[in-house]
Every structure is written in C-alpha cells, then in structure tokens.
Amino acid sequence: MTIFDAQAARALARRSLSLGDCLAAMKRAVLHAAQVGEFEAMIGLPEALPMAAGQSTNNAAFLIDFFSQLGVDAWADAVRHAERAGYAARPAWRSAATGAAVEGLWLSWYLLETTEFSNDVPPLLMPATVAYAMSQAEQVHQRWVEGLKESIRKAALQGKPSVSVHDGVAATDLAWSKRREILQRAGFNTELLAGDRGATLVIAW
C-alpha cells in the first residue's frame, strides 16, 4: 500500500503552482524591497529543494535547468520572465543532508540588464528599470535619515529624550512620511510640526 505522506503532499503542491503564483510572489518581494531602498529581494520556495553535488552555479541558467529537471516548470518560466524584465537571478542556498539545497531565489536590479520588449508582448513582471527607480528614490530618504545619526547620538549622550530637526520641505510633502516611516521602523517616535518655512520633525526615543 502506497502511503501519501507529507513529502508527497509538498511535491504535489510544488508542481501545482502556476506561473501567475510565482510571478506574484516575485512582484511582492521586489515591491517590498524597492519601497525600503533595497536593490535585491529573496523569494522563498514552498520547500527547499536538494541539489546533487557538482551542480552548483550562481546564475539564472542554473535555476532554469534545476527547476525544469525537478518538474517545477512554473518557477523555471518565472525565472525566464524575470530575466526578460531585466533582473539578474541567482539561487538562494541553505545547507542540507546532500550538502546544499535551493531554498529560494534572489532577484537583483542594481546592475540593470539591457532588455528590449516587443510592443505586442509586454513583460509579465514589473521591469527592473522601474524597480531601480523606486529603490533610488527611496535611497534619497534613507540618506536623509542617516544624516541625522550624529545629532541623535549627541542628544542621547546629553541625556535628552528627543531631538528636533528643521527642514525647508513643507509639512505636506510626501518626503516627510517616507522619512518618518524609516525612523519608526528603527523604533523612534516622531511628530511633525508645520512652520512658515518648512517643518520641524521631533524625533523621540
């Protein structure tokens, strides 16, 4: 009698994934990373896939062959679409009984690939150029916040619970919400005070 165990269930689920499912997972990961100023994202697989010794190669071609050999065609196609959209793809590794396993894949867009699209076949994944522009825009806010480190450190050394920073940017500008979001992710509390010439941000800890 054949027993349908957890491993068989995972294998069935892996083969049942559609191209749309894989591309959606890629899109979510890329958007999340770009929105915090990162230039690469890791997309995890439902389960780590063991790799035979001697197969290791850190590029998209390896991933496509690896997924195809295991019958995970949706992931192989998704990597092809990611390449077509201008992303660089490489496997995400973890240790396993066989020596190594692929637990996911990395997509990066800090070195943009030159990609041409035909007008009648649009890319199925957000182009890497769009992700790059999003990351670059977010980096502006990251650098502004990083520039506050010394002011925060000096205030903390003096025993102060907060520091105020003035900027000529109007309080209604979207830049303030981005800056506050970054600071709040780092555990700071913020309050924005509008002024005649810009605004003042109170950063508390």
108 and 10 within one domain: yes
75 and 19 within one domain: yes
The yes-or-no verdict on residue 160 having pLDDT over 80 is: yes
Percent of the chain with pLDDT over 90: 67
Please count the structural domains in the chain: 2
99 and 17 within one domain: yes
Q: Last residue of some domain: 137, 169, 191?
A: 137
Q: Is the pTM of this model over 0.75?
A: no
The yes-or-no verdict on residue 36 having pLDDT over 90 is: no
Q: Last residue of some domain: 118, 137, 156?
A: 137
Over the stretch 37-75, which tens digit does the pLDDT of each residue have?
899 999 999 888 988 766 668 899 999 999 999 889 999
Does residue 90 sit within a domain? Answer: yes
124 and 69 within one domain: yes
pLDDT bin (cut points 50, 70, 90) of residue 96 is confident
Does residue 38 sit within a domain? Answer: yes
**CA triple 57-20-75, angle to 5 deg:** 20
The yes-or-no verdict on residue 1 having pLDDT over 50 is: no
> What is the helix (H) or strand (E) element at residue 48, kind and residue range?
strand 40-50
- List CB contacts of 8: < 8 A, sequence separation 6 or more: none
Domain that includes residue 162, residue range: 147-204
151 and 133 within one domain: no
187 and 131 within one domain: no
32 and 102 within one domain: yes
- List CB contacts of 165: < 8 A, sequence separation 6 or more: 148, 151, 200, 201, 203
127 and 77 within one domain: yes
